Structure formats: C-alpha cells, structure tokens
Amino acid sequence: MTEPGQRTVLAFDFGTRRIGVAVGNELLDSASRLDPLAARDGIPDWRVVERLVATWQPELFVVGLPLELDGSELEMCLRARKFGKRLFGRFGIPCEMVDERGSTREAKAIAREEGHQGNYRQDGVDGIAAALILESWFLRRKEPPSA
C-alpha cells in the first residue's frame, strides 16, 4: 500500500448514460481526464471498469455527489451513492463521495475555452467534470478542519 498522500485515485462523474472518469495522484494534486464510460441507466460495463482498475491500480475511488444548490439530495445523489457502494463492493477499494455542485457548468465552460463548439458528448465534458471533482477532493483534503 502506498503511503498516505501518494495514492493513485480514480474519480467518477456519475450519470445515467455516461460516467466521466479521471485519474490522479495525491502527491501531484492533479487530475487527468480519461474516456467516459458508457452506461445504461447508470450501470457501466463492469469489465471496462475492471480494466481501468487493473491499469491504474487506484487505492481510492472518488465519486461526485450531485447535491442541489441548497445542499439537499435528490434521486441522482442516491444513485451516485449506490454506484460508489458498488465500486467498493466489487473492488474492495475505499470510495469517498464529493460535493460536485457546479462541476458540469464549469466543465462546459472549459470545453468552450478549449474551442469545442457545444457537442459536449464528443468534447469530453464528462471527463473534464470528473477531473474537476478529483481536483476539488485534492483541495478539500488539505483544508484545515473547521472548528
């Protein structure tokens, strides 16, 4: 097991049709987008996830939690939590949920800045959102605990 602060982390931006994926390392505090996973009603091809896990050998999963602006949880939060539990159940790798409010909007803005013309499915917004979720997790773990 890698020392704390040096783990490889796989992050997911859960969706019912596509699941964004990013990988990063705590030591570098940076995230790289990967190809999104196709999903059917929120269920990916688990063989593809197995290949990701075999390739990157993560020691932690991070899954975005799509909270409402007021912090409340709706059905998508329950589904994202279920996805996180399935990741843990299948691979035995811990999974943390992260508030992802605003990540999709920010991902679309980044895609526009990169010159994409609004075809977000082809332009990788899911991967951008997953990378933003992972980067926010990196930042949050460095924040001092609130008193």
CATH number belonging to the domain at 8-141, selected among 3.30.420.140, 3.10.20.600, 3.40.50.720, 3.40.50.2300: 3.30.420.140
On whether the CB atoms of residues 24 and 32 are closer than 8 A, the answer is yes
Confidence (pLDDT) at 74 = 84
Confidence (pLDDT) at 1 = 62
Confidence (pLDDT) at 144 = 61
Mean pLDDT by 10 residues, the chain (147 residues): 79 94 92 94 96 97 90 89 97 95 70 63 75 91 62
Domain boundaries, the chain: 8-141
Cα–Cα distance, 130 to 62 (Å, whole number): 9
Which amino acid, residue 69?
L
Cα–Cα distance, 7 to 1 (Å, whole number): 8
